[in-house]
A = this chain, B = another copy of it.
Amino acid sequence: MPATLAQLGQIADATVRGNPELRISGAAGIRNAREGEIALVVDASYVPLVPRTAASALLVATDFDPASTQLPLLVAEEPAEAFDRVAAHLHPDPPPAEPGIHETAVVAPDALLGAEVAIHAHCVVESGARVGAHTVLRPGVFVGRDAVIGEYCLLHPHVAVLDRCTLGDRVVLHAGVVIGADGYGYETRDGVHYKIPQRGIVEVGDDVEIGANTTVDRARYGRTVVGSGTKIDDLVMVAHNVVVGDHSLLIAQCGIAGSTALGHHVTVAAQAGIVGHIEIGDQAIVGAQAGVVRDVPPGQIVLGSPAQDLARERRALVVHQRLPDLAKRVRALATAVEQLQQRINHLECGAEDRP
């Protein structure tokens, strides 16, 4: 919803410098803001970007030098928070989904639906499934037989929650997420891989958010667990029987192999991989692209593939980047040692010659 600079100043509890009638159509990052938009100068590191921005106004902190730009300004005590309010006004949340079941949705007669659920077009809710009150299933969501979705959940288009899997309350699954595909388990006899039935489920706690096209596989027995408060990014792979503790963060494209257990408040950075059957302690951090092959104690930060303690790996990487120099130095040393050997040979001959 567009607004004048004066209106945004009121919303942001900020002082207006410049034309109060200037019409602002949106909020954007300073790097790619466009004409008509307002951008945030969150701290001094953004000041060099000011001359290059195409924004029509800036929201700045009180210590910003107003002489450094011609742009109209909103000056706020807490600029980040003020900008959130401005952005919320310019780009309001969509209206809440109307409760109700779309006529094209296919809901089994024995599915249990809570109060005020919204089930959009082309959703399927199979027999025995439960959908908690106030939950929204956007178009094309699949909820399998006997699956359980908690209250106030939001399942984006084309999400699949397969048979018997469970979600807690206030869970957000982004488009294309698959909860409860079979774990990858085979027994090989005479070169043929026979499927090991995957009879378990996935159990997702409360307040979990999972990014687009991420997959969490069902357990062989028991359950694959995503703890409450944990946030998972896009295209992450969580294998069967993994336990992810509460309040952990799994960043884009990382993968956790089967039966590994993560504690609470663990961070796994982008594109990292963790082998199966190990334990990652509480509050441990696995660096981007790391490959973790053994247990990580609580609180440790690891990096590299195979991963080791951050400080060690960083030093190793510094040396790695200079490996050609190191190799050259070793070659030079070898030459120097050879020369020394010849000189000593010579000296020793002289010493022997002496009577």
Contacts and interface: CB of A to CB of B under 8 A. Distances in A.
A234 B319 contact: no
A344 B341 contact: no
B252 A212 contact: no
A139 B106 contact: yes
Contacts of A122: 104, 106, 122, 124, 140
A282 B21 CA distance: 39
A199 B336 CA distance: 63
Contacts of A220: 29
A168 interface: no
A257 B142 CA distance: 30
Contacts of A102: 106
Interface in A216-242: 217, 219-223, 225, 229, 231, 233-235, 237, 239, 241
Given A321-B312, A336-B337, A221 B252 contact: no
Interface in A23-52: 26-29, 31-33, 37, 39-40
Interface of A: 26-29, 31-33, 37, 39-40, 83-84, 87-88, 90-91, 93-94, 102, 104, 106, 120-122, 124, 138-140, 142, 144-145, 156-158, 160, 162-163, 172, 174-176, 178, 181-182, 184, 186, 191-193, 195, 197, 199-200, 209, 211-213, 215, 217, 219-223, 225, 229, 231, 233-235, 237, 239, 241, 243, 247, 249, 251-253, 255, 257, 259, 261, 265, 270-271, 273, 275, 288-289, 291, 304-306, 308, 312-313, 315-324, 326-327, 329-330, 333-334, 336-337, 340-341, 343-344, 347-348, 350-351, 354
